Structure 1
Amino acid sequence: MTELHAPTAPAVAATPTAEEEVARICQELIRLDTSNYGDNEGPGERAAAEQVMGLLQEVGLEPELFESAPGRASVVVRLEGEDRTRPALVLHGHLDVVPAAAADWSVDPFSGEERDGLLWGRGAVDMKDMDAMILAVVRQMAREGRKPARDVVVAFFADEEAGGVYGAGWAVQNRPDLFEGATEAISEVGGFSVELGGRRAYLLQTAEKGLAWLRLVADGRAGHGSQVNAENAVTELAAAVARIGAHQWPYTLTPTVDALLRGVADLTGLPFDEQDPASVDALVAALGPAGKFVGATVRHTSNPTQLDAGYKANVIPGSASAVIDVRLLPGHEDAGMATLRELAGPRVRIEPIHQDVALEVPFTGALVDAMVDSVLAEDPEATVLPYTLSGGTDNKSLSRLGITGYGFAPLRLPGHLDFAGMFHGVDERVPVDSLKFGTRVLDRLLRSC
């Protein structure tokens, strides 16, 4: 007699958790070339924005995609919170990356290759890692039907790497309704770990320097290259560039930097004397690779980055120009600009290309407490310290709506990894375990904040 069996039901694939899918999402985003060359050039963010849209729509959310110019796409979705009477939180990332010269890399910078437990590629740390963590956590929450503690505006902006004109800046000016009721924001370049005195410390970004991309212009008298010319524009410009590039800005410790260095001193046992540059330098050095960030926040910086003059070897041009990248400390912007004008001299004028505000907020409050608690729940033996970012983020744009911004992209990192050096650097990469850690911390935060 033949034994009858009921037909076997087809296997149903288990739905991945946020931890299980964060690396895949990050890989997929890295593989989309969203290089931002500035001046509205490059491939744009549209492909990545459409990828984000699909990931959000797949779990039943209704995001909005908008363009500020052809291809310059951003995505925003609002998550309804448990307590809608509370002010909303903006959780945001950017989809563009700086360009990468493939010949300089060990891997194809847009391959998203996983090697030795790390994901490699442009954007792995700036900031498609955080984009992936946000997406993974939000997708899991949506699948589970779970709400955050309060309304959360989740945004993925275009153009952050060129100042946000076509991204967050455009959204703030043209679509402020998207951020209605929001008072606080969380974004990139904070929440990562460093090793200090045998203990792990996480740096939470509570301040960022002001941005000033400035053009120096010298006007002179055009003429033949063989003649004596006391009004040579190139000479005037070169002298101004040399003065600005070589200027030793004095140490100026803002409240955030002061608090960070005191924390480093407590953990390492090193002395801290704010009046002694050697003491400050030693504390910055104790931060290891993260000292690249912190060392640029104890004073203003001004770096010449571009030169433009002349069109022929035997012609003295009538004008010459240069570009300088200036980063100014919070609360000291006016004094810094006054010094730059003195260094440029009376025959070189300064023209703004793009400027934006410096930000600094206290290392206190319910949101800060929630971020600290979320990290320590996953790494109980660690500590959390405030720090200032030497660069800038889209929190600058959101500040124009009165939104207070923090940098919190939580990553537990190996002590030897030169994390700070990978921002805009070669062979950018992030540990997969760090991404998983970040998803757990971010999930905890949205439950509680």
Structure 2
Amino acid sequence: MKSVAEICSDLIRFDTTNPGSGERPAAEYVATLLADAGIEPVVFESAPKRTTVVARIAGESPDALLVHGHLDVVPADPAEWRTHPFSGEIADGCVHGRGAVDMKGACAMTLAAVLGMAARGERPRRDLVLAFLADEEATGDYGSRYAVTEHRGLFDGVTEAISESGGFSVTSGEHRVYPIGVGERGTAWMKLTARGVAGHGSRPAVDNPVATLAHALSRLASYEWPVRLTPSVAALLESLSRITGRPVDLDRLDEEAERLGALGGLFRSQIRNSANPTMLDAGYKVNVVPSTAEAHVDGRYMPGLQEEFLETVDRLLGPKVTREFVNLEEAPAAPYPSAFFDELAGTLAAEDPGARPVPYVLAGGTDAKSFNRIGITTYGFTPLMLRPDLDYFGMFHGKDERVPVEGLEFGTRVLTRLVGGA
């Protein structure tokens, strides 16, 4: 049987860049591994080569746990990397390449755990549903959204799920903290349009939409969003205060994030809404004032704050700029405290007695939003014990992405304990 590092390396070597040529080769690889282990995969496509794999493993109880991950990755420029981003090279104790962290490493841990159980003839404690999805790095239209609408029956009996962005170690001094995701910020990707009067660039502009949009974007980008503490983030801050032995000053959270270093990264982006201009499109000739100007904005809002967020955006943009949604998703939340959170925390402590699990809200978004629509709550839990000097957050969509082999092996053991094969 292949090791978890070898499976991760194999998956990385499939270029599943989104947008790109699709996830089919990686999906076929996953389906073959499962089938060879006697686990029957269901393979379907939402569009040519946009391929998803789902499998159910019967357990001792019909109550099902979903483990979902995505096979697509964001683009990577080989010229910016020390090793080729799709080499899957195993060197210096790490597996290198695009997707090592986000999230082919997690898919590899899931596969290694269930394949190991199958080889030993073990059954999970409850039904286990595995989903290896397309298109998470875009809107999920070709992946999770398609799966929950067109193949809803594959997820019957599932109430809870685990997926990316949680369960990894963050080391600060003698403290090894493991954030477990109990929610994530909502997504509001918006297209902005300003309309005006076209004319010659040498004449005084009557109504220049480029200028109108530029001023609106400047107001939006420079706005200082107020702190909005949700119960889950407040619980995180309380946990960090207890672990470090020094109360976190709630009136100076930006300064506290700096003081806490790596631990501060767990809440720096999760205490307020945000709206970042990311794309601009206006004009076609230097001496022509165009009639329209467009921009795109990546908006994120805390759970329960969608209305406040949109009202603020509209006020900052002003009456001459219209917006439409490219993607609007609610901010899902999982129960906390809960028995399942305690179960996840317990599996970490069983493999790492120094583990200090804490609740955590993700700054970005995942496929959890799609599964939330059908009543499945997702906890961020892809366990990894990481080297203190590895910038885990910087690995996401960054260059020289890599994951320690020992971390993958640790995560495989944790997942095996969780599903009942240990």
TM-score (norm 2): 0.97
- TM-aligned CA deviation for residue 253 of structure 1: 1.1
- TM-aligned CA deviation for residue 257 of structure 1: 1.0
Aligned to 2:157: 181
- TM-aligned CA deviation for residue 448 of structure 1: 8.0
Q: Give the gaps of 5 or more residues in structure 1.
A: 1-15
Aligned to 1:44: 22
- Cα separation, 2, equivalents of 1:290 and 1:422: 16
- TM-aligned CA deviation for residue 141 of structure 1: 1.3
Q: 1:190 to 1:287 in 2, by over 3 A?
A: farther
Contact 2:172/2:262 (<8 A) preserved: no
Report the count of equivalent residues: 422
Match of 2:168 among 192, 202, 214: 192
Match of 1:416 among 389, 392, 396: 389
- Cα separation, 1, equivalents of 2:260 and 2:392: 12
- TM-aligned CA deviation for residue 282 of structure 1: 4.1
- TM-aligned CA deviation for residue 354 of structure 1: 0.8
- TM-aligned CA deviation for residue 333 of structure 1: 1.1
- TM-aligned CA deviation for residue 45 of structure 1: 0.2
- Cα separation, 1, equivalents of 2:421 and 2:36: 25
Aligned to 1:12: none
- TM-aligned CA deviation for residue 197 of structure 1: 4.6
Please give the residue correspondences for 1:91-240 in structure 2 after superposition, counting only pairs within 5 Å.
Answer: 91-240=67-216
Letter in 2 for 1:30: I
Aligned to 2:407: 434
- Cα separation, 1, equivalents of 2:316 and 2:359: 33
Aligned to 1:397: 370
- TM-aligned CA deviation for residue 285 of structure 1: 2.9
Aligned to 2:15: 33
Aligned to 2:236: 260
For each residue in 1:372-426, what CA deviation from the matched residue of structure 2 results, as whole angstroms up to 9, or x when unmatched?
A: 1100000112210011100011110000101111110000111111000110001
Please say which of residues 309-318 and 353-362 is displaced more in the overlay.
353-362
Letter in 2 for 1:352: F
- Cα separation, 1, equivalents of 2:302 and 2:421: 32
- TM-aligned CA deviation for residue 287 of structure 1: 4.8
- Cα separation, 2, equivalents of 1:411 and 1:286: 24
What is the root-mean-square deviation in Å for CA atoms of aligned residues?
1.4
Contact 1:80/1:147 (<8 A) preserved: yes
Letter in 2 for 1:425: G
- Cα separation, 2, equivalents of 1:34 and 1:232: 41
- TM-aligned CA deviation for residue 217 of structure 1: 0.3
| SS of residue matched to 2:365 | coil
Please give the residue correspondences for 1:240-251 in structure 2 after superposition, counting only pairs within 5 Å.
Answer: 240-251=216-227
- Cα separation, 1, equivalents of 2:243 and 2:277: 36
For each residue in 1:65-103, what CA deviation from the matched residue of structure 2 results, as whole angstroms up to 9, or x when unmatched?
A: 10000010000000101112xx21111100000000111
Please say which of residues 112-121 and 437-446 is displaced more in the overlay.
112-121
For each residue in 1:246-270, what CA deviation from the matched residue of structure 2 results, as whole angstroms up to 9, or x when unmatched?
A: 1110111111111111111222233
1:350 and 2:323 aligned: yes
Contact 2:14/2:25 (<8 A) preserved: yes
Aligned to 1:13: none
| Higher Cα Rg, which structure | 1
- Cα separation, 1, equivalents of 2:307 and 2:127: 37
1:361 and 2:334 aligned: yes
Match of 1:377 among 347, 350, 354: 350
TM-score (norm 1): 0.92
Q: Give the gaps of 5 or more residues in structure 2.
A: none
Contact 1:265/1:283 (<8 A) preserved: no
- TM-aligned CA deviation for residue 271 of structure 1: 2.6
Instruction: State the percentage of identical aligned residues.
Output: 51
Letter in 1 for 2:53: V
Q: 1:184 to 1:448 in 2, by over 3 A?
A: farther
- Cα separation, 1, equivalents of 2:260 and 2:133: 31
Contact 2:333/2:377 (<8 A) preserved: no
Contact 1:261/1:283 (<8 A) preserved: no
- Cα separation, 2, equivalents of 1:329 and 1:242: 22
- TM-aligned CA deviation for residue 355 of structure 1: 1.2
- Cα separation, 1, equivalents of 2:99 and 2:264: 21
Aligned to 1:8: none
